[in-house]
């Protein structure tokens, strides 16, 4: 009998060490009415009277040991259930996903900020526009082929009460709305979305973003245009940047010029981005055509002005080496995540 008491004590200790069983399982096996301990007490009755004292003592020792084991099992399970995983300081940190600005927003903000330091205030205008503001007031004659340079999405055809309604093809509509409202001096920067009926590809999209600048006052000259854009280019692309003006044509500016900057990828020595010319085109510009000023009730004899417009996607693609325009509109996390912290 003494041997089996000893064996049971060992088994019970192993039960505790194995950590596999619950307090309840332990109680059922050892301490319940039909459990092992009660069985031993039954057997105890039949023990030889000469041995009763020694066996009785051991039996009590076993009983105490089993009760202790049961108590410690109970303690373990109750403290387990009360524990929240977050209290385990050894667990790895739950990753915190940080949002980021869209690359187009980063570049737009930067452009607007540079011009606002030069005294340009930010203005806004509608994306759904009348033909007058998008074309006619900007000196696009009725059947002028330049209207076809910008494939237009029409919203509603004109009727007796109003003009054609369309999605603006450039931000130049805001120039007209601004000069209608405000007399010179006008010095504003206007960023926004524009639409053209183009097949979507890596290089073209039916929607994109432009930033337009307009400065109208007495004695505004072509030199002011050049200096303003040179300063902007140095701020935006680095202080060694130079600009080059190439003659161009826009119905609303005369003379007109395309603005190139020294390639900020290769510094002008020639690379794939600048097609080995050392220059990249960033904007269209020119002196506001006198007809446009007159269309807005501003006397072209008294005032002159310059305007420029640039594509935000184009600058962003050049700046970050992005080669597919569609990436800007897909909102793929794998693309956007790369701009965290910029």
User: Whole-angstrom Cα distance, residue 131 to residue 163?
Assistant: 6
251 interacts with ligand PHE by CB under 6 A: no
Instruction: Count the Cβ atoms, other than its own, within 10 Å of residue 296.
Output: 20
Q: Among residues 253, 231, 121, 233, which one has the least CA distance to residue 187?
A: 121
Q: Decide if 180 contacts 219 (C-beta within 8 A).
A: no
293 interacts with ligand PHE by CB under 6 A: no
Q: How far is the CB of 308 from ligand PHE (least distance, A)?
A: 5
Which of the stretches 20-28, 30-38, 105-113, 280-288 binds ligand PHE when contact is defined by CB under 6 A?
A: 280-288
Residue nearest to ligand PHE (CB): 309
Instruction: Return the residue matching tokens 């019970």.
Output: 12
Strands (E) across the chain are located at 121-123, 128-130, 154-156, 165-167, 186-195, 207-217, 243-250, 253-262, 279-288, 304-311
123 interacts with ligand PHE by CB under 6 A: no
User: Whole-angstrom Cα distance, residue 228 to residue 190?
Assistant: 16
Q: How far is the CB of 131 from ligand PHE (least distance, A)?
A: 15
Looking at 284, 304, 314, 325, which residue binds ligand PHE (CB under 6 A)?
284
184 interacts with ligand PHE by CB under 6 A: no
Looking at 307, 312, 317, 325, which residue binds ligand PHE (CB under 6 A)?
307
Helix axes 36-44, 52-81, angle to 10 degrees: 170
Looking at 123, 131, 212, 313, which residue binds ligand PHE (CB under 6 A)?
212
Looking at 26, 30, 215, 308, which residue binds ligand PHE (CB under 6 A)?
308
Instruction: Return the residue matching tokens 């076993």.
Output: 62
- When the beta carbons of 170 and 314 are compared against ligand PHE, the nearer one is 170
Q: How far is the CB of 257 from ligand PHE (least distance, A)?
A: 8
172 interacts with ligand PHE by CB under 6 A: yes
250 interacts with ligand PHE by CB under 6 A: yes
Which of the stretches 93-101, 271-279, 302-310, 313-321 binds ligand PHE when contact is defined by CB under 6 A?
A: 302-310
Looking at 188, 241, 285, 316, which residue binds ligand PHE (CB under 6 A)?
285
Phi-psi region of 237 (alpha: psi -120 to 50; beta: other; left: phi over 0): alpha
Instruction: Count the Cβ atoms, other than its own, within 10 Å of residue 164.
Output: 18
Q: How far is the CB of 212 from ligand PHE (least distance, A)?
A: 6
Q: What are the DSSP calls for 119-174, one per residue?
A: TPEEE---SEEEHHHHTGGGT--TT-THHHHSPPPEEE---SS---EEE-SSTTHH
User: Whole-angstrom Cα distance, residue 2 to residue 119?
Assistant: 100
**Chain Cα centroid distance, residue 90:** 32
Which of the stretches 152-160, 198-206, 237-245, 281-289 binds ligand PHE when contact is defined by CB under 6 A?
A: 281-289
Looking at 70, 108, 170, 196, which residue binds ligand PHE (CB under 6 A)?
170
Looking at 263, 286, 316, 317, which residue binds ligand PHE (CB under 6 A)?
286
309 interacts with ligand PHE by CB under 6 A: yes
- The site for ligand PHE (CB under 6 A) is made up of 170, 172, 212, 250, 253, 284-286, 307-309
């Amino acid at each position: 009998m003494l041997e089996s008491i000893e064996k049971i004590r060992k088994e019970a200790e192993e039960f505790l060490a194995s950590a596999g069983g619950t307090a309840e399982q332990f109680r059922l096996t050892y301490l319940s009415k039909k459990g092992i301990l009660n069985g031993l007490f039954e057997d105890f009755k039949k023990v030889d009277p000469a041995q009763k004292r020694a066996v009785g003592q051991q039996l009590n020792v076993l009983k105490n040991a089993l009760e202790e084991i049961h108590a410690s099992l109970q303690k373990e399970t109750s403290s387990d259930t009360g524990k929240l995983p977050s209290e385990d300081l050894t667990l790895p940190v739950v990753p915190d996903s940080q949002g980021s600005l869209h690359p187009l927003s980063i570049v737009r903000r930067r452009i607007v900020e540079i011009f606002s330091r030069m005294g340009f205030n930010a203005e806004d205008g509608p994306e759904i526009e009348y033909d007058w503001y998008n074309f006619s007031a900007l000196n696009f004659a009725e059947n002028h082929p330049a209207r076809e340079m910008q494939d237009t999405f029409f919203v509603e055809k004109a009727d007796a009460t109003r003009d054609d309604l369309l999605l603006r093809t450039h931000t130049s509509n805001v120039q007209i709305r601004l000069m209608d409202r405000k007399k010179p001096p006008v010095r504003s920067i206007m960023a926004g979305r524009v639409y053209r009926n183009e097949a979507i590809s890596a290089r073209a999209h039916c929607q994109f973003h432009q930033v337009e600048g307009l400065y109208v006052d007495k004695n505004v000259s072509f030199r002011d245009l050049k200096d303003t854009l040179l300063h902007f280019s140095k701020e935006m692309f680095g202080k060694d940047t130079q600009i080059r003006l190439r003659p161009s044509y826009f119905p609303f500016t005369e003379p007109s010029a395309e603005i190139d900057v020294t390639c900020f990828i290769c510094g002008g020595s020639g690379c794939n981005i600048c097609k080995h010319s050392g220059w990249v085109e960033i904007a269209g510009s020119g002196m506001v055509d006198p007809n446009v000023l007159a269309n807005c009730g501003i006397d072209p004899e008294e005032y002159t002005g310059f305007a420029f417009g640039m594509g935000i996607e184009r600058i962003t693609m050049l700046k970050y080496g992005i080669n597919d325009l569609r990436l800007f509109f897909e909102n793929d996390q794998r693309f956007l995540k790369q701009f965290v912290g910029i």
